[in-house]
Amino acid sequence: MRKFNRKNDQIRDISIETNINKNSEGSCIIRLGDTHVICTASFENDVPQWLKNSDSGWITAEYGMLPGSTSTRNRREAAKGKQSGRTVEIQRLIGRSLRTVVDLKKIKGSQIILDCDVIQADGGTRTASISGAFVALSLAIKRLLNKKILKENPIKDYLAAISCGILNEEIYVDLDYTEDSQASVDANFIFSQTLGIAEVQVSGERSTFKYEDLKQMIKMSEISVRKIFEIQKKVLN
């Protein structure tokens, strides 16, 4: 039995509060069950060196977990002197996913940086970060259009993400930490609103899985992620 008697295809309670940071072009806090992430979007009238003199802009991301986000203090990576492989992987995933729904030519010569800071973690921090980062990005774009800094909206579609996994031979969506740590198969799916797939991450943590399992995980995730799109639309429109 899942916490709060959740069904296999039922996501945790979700809320998104916008405009929580006056210094950022766009900001929000996304709460997915007991996982809470602050997402901010910052605009820079510059691009990485390798994109200079090109017709493209750039979207990138940084990700981190605050010391108090976990049950035992999570030491700051700055104090360690380097980022973990997990952190690098997740922030690349966030940036890569967002770029799939943005026309980079429409932000030529500039970049938008998404910062995702986990203030409380209970599984699904990367998927919550992606869903929240999209909202922060959208708010930033809206402000930049209003200021006439951008001429056209570069966002092509909505973007949201959800975790999924196999636990005790059953498929569940939106795993909390306990479920995720016990899952035999762990997956993350990133969808556009039109249900195009931006990225799929699936690994057999304790066992292999069948192709039919993968198809069922995608099907259940496609249905469940619609709830996240509904919340995104509600706060952005």
Per-residue pLDDT of 183-226, as tens digits, reads 999 999 999 998 799 999 999 988 899 999 999 999 999 999 99
Look at the chain and count its residues: 237
Cβ atoms of 51 and 68 closer than 8 Å: no
Cβ atoms of 41 and 21 closer than 8 Å: no
DSSP 8-state secondary structure symbol assigned to residue 215: H
Query: Is the residue at 140 inside a domain?
Result: yes
Residue 42 belongs to a domain with what CATH number? Answer: 3.30.230.70
Q: How many domains does the chain have?
A: 1
Query: Is the residue at 236 inside a domain?
Result: no
Query: Is the residue at 26 inside a domain?
Result: yes
Query: Is the residue at 215 inside a domain?
Result: yes
Query: Is the residue at 152 inside a domain?
Result: yes
Identify the residue whose tokens are 């005790």: 168
Which band of pLDDT confidence, cut at 50, 70 and 90, is reported for residue 84? confident
pTM for the whole thing? 0.95
Structural domain including 116 reads 11-229
Report DSSP letters for 77-111, one per residue: HHHHTS--HHHHHHHHHHHHHHHTTB-GGGGTT-E
Query: Is the residue at 1 inside a domain?
Result: no
Separation of alpha carbons 222 and 79, rounded Å: 39
Query: Is the residue at 123 inside a domain?
Result: yes
Separation of alpha carbons 183 and 202, rounded Å: 12
Query: Is the residue at 154 inside a domain?
Result: yes
Per-residue pLDDT of 116-143, as tens digits, reads 999 999 999 999 999 999 999 999 999 9
Cβ atoms of 97 and 161 closer than 8 Å: yes
Token pair in block for residue 13: 């309670």
